[in-house]
């Protein structure tokens, strides 16, 4: 008896969690991708083209802004995914209104919002874009995380100031040897080779004369 009761509780809890998770995934998917369709048809049952679209966008503060795409032409549907990701990536579309021919259709995407509490009857909007500007927007690139400085990098912003505060070494002066000669030194002249030969011959001649006299 107890085991069956626990089994029922476990099954019901698991199913409820699965349903809740699928609901969250559905909300995420609907927020990330949104295609607007014309709901206006003529007497022959032909779908009519869109003339303008109004999105009611809620920001993180809870404020709702009416965003209008005007002068839509040549299309019966509009993929607003890239438009919303580009201009309102952090906001939620709670409802939108489509005008095709003379008919306006309103679609609520979040609970608590209706035509009664949103400015659907006013033609003006808080922000207006032209369809030619947003008809073929590329998919926005994901934001790259900012690169943080590595822990191995050293901040040298104060290194110059710290170095200037360090005591500077005193300059060393090298005394070069003096090139001046002592005033007391005497000048010695060296005879040239030719004068040396003449002195030798003159000395030999004097010796020969002395020998002749003595003999």
Per-residue model confidence (pLDDT) at position 200: 55
List the one residue out of 65, 66, 64, 96 whose CA is nearest residue 79: 96
* Full domain range(s) for residue 68: 30-134
**Rounded Cα gap, residues 188 and 7, in angstroms:** 130
Per-residue model confidence (pLDDT) at position 75: 95
Number of domains within the chain: 1
Q: Are 114 and 56 in contact (CB under 8 A)?
A: no
In a domain, 125, yes or no: yes
What is the domain-level CATH number for residue 96?
A: 2.60.40
DSSP the chain: -HHHHHHHHHHHHHHHHHHHHHHHHHHHHHHH--EEE---B-TT-PBPPEEEEEEEEE-TTS-EEEEEEE---S-SEEE-HHHHHHH-TT-EEEEEEEEETTEEEEEE-STT--TTTTT-S-S--SEEEEHHHHTTPPPPPPPPPPPPPPTT----TTHHHHHHHSPPPPPPPPPPPP-PPPTTPPP-PPPPHHHHHHHHHHHHHHHHHHHHHH-
Q: Terminal CA-to-CA distance of the chain, rounded, Å?
A: 171
**Rounded Cα gap, residues 41 and 49, in angstroms:** 9
Query: Residue-wise pLDDT tens for the chain (215 aa)?
Result: 545 544 554 444 444 444 343 333 333 343 458 999 999 999 999 999 999 999 999 999 999 999 999 999 999 999 999 999 999 999 999 999 999 988 999 999 999 999 999 999 888 899 999 999 999 999 887 766 666 655 555 555 555 555 555 555 555 444 445 455 454 445 545 555 555 555 656 666 666 665 555 55
Per-residue model confidence (pLDDT) at position 16: 46
In a domain, 23, yes or no: no
Per-residue model confidence (pLDDT) at position 122: 84
pTM of the model: 0.54
In a domain, 98, yes or no: yes
Tokens of 157: 């912003």
In a domain, 80, yes or no: yes
**Rounded Cα gap, residues 176 and 178, in angstroms:** 6
In a domain, 90, yes or no: yes
């Amino acid at each position: 008896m107890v085991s069956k009761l626990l089994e029922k509780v476990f099954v019901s809890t698991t199913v409820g969690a699965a349903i809740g998770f699928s609901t969250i995934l559905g909300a995420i998917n609907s927020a990330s991708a949104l295609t607007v369709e014309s709901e206006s048809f003529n007497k022959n049952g032909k779908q009519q083209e869109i003339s303008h679209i109004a999105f009611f966008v809620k920001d993180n503060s809870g404020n709702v802004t009416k965003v209008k795409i005007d002068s839509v032409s040549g299309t019966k549907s509009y993929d607003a995914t890239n438009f919303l990701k580009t201009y309102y990536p952090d906001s939620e579309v709670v409802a939108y209104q489509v005008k095709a021919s003379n008919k306006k259709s309103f679609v609520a995407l979040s609970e608590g919002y209706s035509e009664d509490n949103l400015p659907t009857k006013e033609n003006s909007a808080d922000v207006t874009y032209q369809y030619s500007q947003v008809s073929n927007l590329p998919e926005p690139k994901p934001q790259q995380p900012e690169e943080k400085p590595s822990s191995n990098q050293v901040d040298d912003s104060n290194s110059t100031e710290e170095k200037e505060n360090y005591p500077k070494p005193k300059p060393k002066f090298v005394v070069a040897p003096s090139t001046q000669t002592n005033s007391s030194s005497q000048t010695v002249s060296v005879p040239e080779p030719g004068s040396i030969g003449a002195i030798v011959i003159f000395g030999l001649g004097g010796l020969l004369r002395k020998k002749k006299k003595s003999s």
